[in-house]
Amino acid sequence: MSETSAMFDAVLEMAAAAKRGNIMRWTEAKTTQHQSEGLAFMNSVLLGVLIENDAVRRGVHPADAWAQLRAGGLADFG
């Protein structure tokens, strides 16, 4: 498995653990042989892809989705 694939798997595990509120599993996934900068970048890439894909699915231009997220802030997220 390539480093990028392993990092992708770790990021997915971190996201799943965070969604479940499992801080211990999130920490374990975060600290498994990967540099935190790489994991942070991979998380950002995946979040961007998800935001833009959701915008397209909803028939909204991706730029408008980003603007809506910024305007709504954290209180309107998710």
Q: For the segment 35-66, what is each residue's pLDDT rounded down to a tens digit?
A: 888 888 999 999 999 999 999 999 999 999 99
Residue 15 carries which side chain, given as an amino acid letter? A
DSSP 19-49: HHT-HHHHHHHHTSS--HHHHHHHHHHHHHH
pLDDT of residue 73: 87
> DSSP letters of 3-27?
HHHHHHHHHHHHHHHHHHT-HHHHH
SS3 65: helix
Say if pTM beats, i.e. exceeds, 0.85: no
